Amino acid sequence: MDGDHDKITAVVNLLTNEFTSSPQANRRKVVLVLVFVFISLIVLVDWIMDFVVLV
């Protein structure tokens, strides 16, 4: 789990830096949705892992 935070940060940075600067508006919108979904999945998995540990 130690390196997971760095990997997640790298993916989010890649998505935001490479694609949000695109001159194509549709690509920027898609990337914003992908970042939102990616972060939501991370939070969900973290919540599930905490729940499993409690049970």
Give residue 46's region: left, alpha or beta (phi > 0; psi -120 to 50). alpha
- Name the residue range of residue 22's domain: 4-54
Span 7-27, pLDDT tens digits: 777 877 777 777 667 677 777
Residue-level pLDDT at 20: 67
Domain count, the chain: 1
> How much is the pLDDT for 2?
55
Q: Flag whether pLDDT at 6 surpasses 70.
A: yes
Q: What is the pLDDT of residue 15?
A: 72
Q: Given this model, what pLDDT does residue 3 score?
A: 66
> Both ends of the chain: CA-CA distance in Å?
20
pLDDT tens column, 24-53: 777 777 878 888 888 888 888 888 888 887
